[in-house]
Amino acid sequence: MRTYTTHLPGILIIEPSVFSDERGFFKESFNAARYQTLAGIESPFVQDNQSYSKGSVLRGLHFQKTRPQGKLISVTRGTIFDVVVDINPQSRTFGQYVGVELSQENHKQLWIPPGYAHGFCVLSAEADISYKCTDYYQSDDEGGVAWNCPRLAIHWPIQNPILSAKDKTHPGLEQFLLP
């Protein structure tokens, strides 16, 4: 297993060890002791989620307001462009983002500590995404940032994404700058 830091504090790209031969592959997708030692992930995971999306779907950018979730993201089928945004106005990297391609082929995972906004778009015809979360989802605590916020200037690799009604109405970063 290898871990790579990013310019956003705590955000890691993880490459699990994959053992392949003519029959297929084997990988350990999570091991609490190994992930604590090699990636510093100490929070226990309390909820696992799976998401299926069709091509050109964009989900996000989502966060929990008062009960933020840490997330370990992986793709079991297809390819996505995964994005993490720093939404802490006191942070030196506020408004900056990391974007990484996750796929069934590259086996990469993305560790997102609590306190960031998260979203992704599907680059393949379909994609299955797995999330390990450090806190429980609470619908009344959900927040969002506009996927196309001009202050973020995210370079999404698709045009005309398919969005939910809710994701079409999220405010931009200015929501974090109000008194």
61: cis peptide before it, omega within 30°?
A: yes
pLDDT number for residue 177: 84
Q: What is the pTM of this model?
A: 0.95
Percent of the chain exceeding pLDDT 90 equals 97
pLDDT band (50, 70, 90) for residue 133: very high
* Strand-pair category, 2-5 with 97-103: unpaired
pLDDT number for residue 179: 64
Residues tagged active-site = 62, 131
CATH numbers and ranges of domains, the chain:
44-176 (2.60.120.10)
* pLDDT above 90: residue 77: yes
* Strand-pair category, 109-112 with 12-15: antiparallel
Walk across the sheet containing 142-144 and list its strands.
Answer: 97-103, 79-86, 116-122, 58-64, 142-144
Q: What is the mean pLDDT of residues 160-169?
A: 97
Which strand (E) or helix (H) includes residue 174?
none
**Closest by alpha carbon to 158, among 115, 122, 133, 116?**
122
